[in-house]
Amino acid sequence: PMGSERTEIRKRQMAATPESPGAAQAQLSTGNRGSNACCFCWCCCCSCSCLTVRNQEEERARRTSHELQAEGIPNCEESPAPTLEEVNAWAQSFDKLMLTPAGRNAFREFLRTEFSEENMLFWMACEELKQESNKSIIEEKARLIYEDYISILSPKEVSLDSRVREVINRNMLEPSQHTFDDAQLQIYTLMHRDSYPRFMNSAIYKDLLQSLSEKSIEA
């Protein structure tokens, strides 16, 4: 009887014990994978959402001017094809380049390759504002310019120093055609000193000049 009782106790112990440590580990691993299907551990799965947010922010910062144009940035100005004389004149001064629609279009195409097209767009928007005389239209356009190019929340924000920003904020209390004059001058100077020299050495300018030169010889 004692032996039978001992045998029965051993059977009960074996029934309560897992088949093997490996089987228990496999079952635990399967449970983890089920709860966190995207990763192998909870810490990786937690970081997935963080990385997603970070990648979205980086992608927003890397948006090119071409992508911004697709969202509503105005197309290039209408203008006749530039002549060889006009294109040669662009090399004489930045002012001559900016005087003609063809010059602005060519320069804007170059700025797009450098992801700084917003500088030209801001300058053009300020020029358009100066042509307005209706007070309500001036206020509306000034608000749009501020939201598009001055606000730090805008992907098209232009680079301005703190002094100019303070001037703009004061001017926005009573917007006028000249609300952004200081900012426009600063961006014009930036394009002149920084982007214009590179434009003159760019393939965009050189190819255009060569094409017009060849046409002139053929004629």
CB 141 within 8 A of CB 172: no
pLDDT at 2 over 90: no
Question: What pLDDT does 29 receive?
Answer: 44
Question: What pLDDT does 57 receive?
Answer: 45
The secondary structure of residue 74, as a DSSP letter, is P
pLDDT tens digits, one per residue of 126-182: 999 999 999 999 999 999 999 999 999 999 999 999 999 999 999 999 999 999 999
Find the mean pLDDT for residues 19-47: 42
**Amino acid identity of 207?**
D
Q: Looking at per-residue confidence, does 49 or 9 come out higher?
A: 9
Find the mean pLDDT for residues 70-74: 44
Find the mean pLDDT for residues 77-102: 94
Q: Which two tokens stand for residue 164?
A: 């100019």
**Amino acid identity of 195?**
S
Q: Looking at per-residue confidence, does 154 or 24 come out higher?
A: 154
Burial 156-186 (b: 16+ CB within 10 A, else e): bebebeeebeebbeebbeebbbebbbbbbeb
CA-nearest of 129, 131, 134 to 149 is 129
Domains, the chain, ordered by start: 84-216 (1.10.167.10)
Query: Exposed, middle or buried by CB within 10 Å (0-12, 13-18, 19+), for 80?
Result: exposed
CA pair distance 77, 19, nearest whole angstrom? 79
